[in-house]
Amino acid sequence: MSAHMKPTVYVADDDADVLGSLRFLLEADGFDVRTFRSGTALLKASDHALVDCFVVDYKMPELNGVELAERLRKQGATAPVVLITGHYDDRLAARAAAVGIQDFLLKPLLDDNLVKRIRKAIANDHSATAQRAS
């Protein structure tokens, strides 16, 4: 992402109302947002290299959010993944961490928390990339 471009966030959630709300929230905060009704649809998007952050729901048909993150990594996507879920438990946290998910948030408390977590994930990812390059 260059300094003059908006950060790009891909959001996957099977609930159309949630997708609409997240799109509105993130666009209002300056992100370029692309939404997907399933993990499979997100995986078919060909431009993962242009994504600054993925926001994925845990509970979706076909692929859950952890499986989606794992497949994104296998496709070469390196952007951070923020998992959103209605149900937290330690096993989910461990599985998420194992596939490189750095952060997750509980629904319905997304609002500004989500924006802050995305910005932090992008900043951390850019710092790590700069360190690897030097």
Residues for the chain: how many in total? 134
| Dist. CA 30–CA 15, nearest whole Å | 23
Q: Is the pLDDT reported for residue 131 higher than 90? A: no
φ, ψ dihedrals at 54, nearest 5°: -105, 135
Q: Band the pLDDT of 4: cuts 50, 70, 90.
A: low
The chain-wide mean pLDDT, for the chain, equals 87
38 against 87, higher pLDDT: 38
For 53-85, write each residue's pLDDT tens digit: 999 999 999 999 999 999 999 999 999 999 998
For 6-45, write each residue's pLDDT tens digit: 999 999 999 999 899 999 999 999 999 999 999 999 999 8
List the one residue out of 64, 79, 66, 71 whose CA is nearest residue 1: 79
83 in Cβ contact with 101 (< 8 Å): yes
Handedness of CA 54, 42, 67, 72 (dihedral sign): negative
* DSSP state letters, the chain: --TTSPPEEEEE-S-HHHHHHHHHHHHHTT-EEEEESSHHHHHH-S-GGG-SEEEEESS-SSS-HHHHHHHHHHTT--S-EEEEES---HHHHHHHHHTT--EEEETT--HHHHHHHHHHHHHHHHHHHHHHH-
